[in-house]
Amino acid sequence: MRLLLGPQRRPWFSWLSGTAMLIVLIVELVKNSQMTGSVIQTSPSFNPMIGPSFTVLINMGARFTPCMRPLPEYSTATSFQYCYREDETCTLEDLCGFGGFGSTAVPDQNFRFITPIFLHAGVVHYVINMLSHLRLGADLECVLGAPRYIVLYMASGIWGFVLSAMLSQTTTASMGCSGALFGLIGYMFIDVIVNWKTIARPVRELLMLLVVTVVSLVLGLLPGLDNFAHLGGFVVGIVMGAMIAPMRPGMGKKGKMITWVIRAVAFVILIILFAATITSFYKAADPSQICPGCKYLSCLPVNGWCDI
């Protein structure tokens, strides 16, 4: 029961998933070496994250909308220049990998809502994420218990990429567990509110969380970062927090009843979020046109960054 609901002594999921992500990163570098002749991307530009090329990451499962559903400007035969090497081209189906699109020849790789969580753009990206994954994440897992923590982590990461797929430019790809980590930050806001009376300096804790969140989201406006995944994870983290945060010790009968009502409402909101956004993503002729102006939530309008 303690393993299910917490607290638990060892953050097994945090350790195992962090190890899995490291193994995936090594595979990325090996595959980049096989496909491009270099362990990390150095041409036509250098990958500052010290990792594989954009195309290799797509081939391994990064969030890339043209691989996930049909788009007006892409077909399975659409050709991509400089696919893996300077003089090499490939079709969309070749780029997306995983055996292509099957007999239907229609992009349908919806697993790309999940696989990007375990991919990273390079060594720097991985190390930065692990600083939170193995500290905040491990601490929360011990408090919540593995099942509740895994649901929080994965739901935040998945909906982050759902929002990203729906609102990002179709030419961009993204990956990483940042959306899931933002979900943990969102959860912490609820945790502070729930335990307001038992925390020594709750206002200070809340302000610190607010500063960390704002700074992180501002940094997410820089090129190469996916702020939609961050925002999506953060929103789901708040909703999930209302669902799964442990009740405050000593709470009365009325307080418990109110908590269960809030949990039920949060569950309904979570279902609506997933259903509405996934439906919009697949029904829209071009998801990037659902909210064209929303691109400025993930980029700064300078030096053509929002047109990359």
Q: Point out the residues that are catalytic.
A: 178, 230
DSSP characters for 200-226?
A: SSHHHHHHHHHHHHHHHHHHTTSTT--
- What is the DSSP code (8-state) at residue 51? -
CA atoms of 63 and 233, how far apart (whole Å): 15
User: Cβ(298)–Cβ(172) under 8 Å?
Assistant: no
Instruction: Report how far apart, in Å, the C-alpha atoms of 269 and of each of 187, 209, 272 are.
Output: 15, 23, 5
Q: Are strands 90-91 and 173-174 parallel, antiparallel or unpaired?
A: unpaired
Amino acid symbol at 228:
F
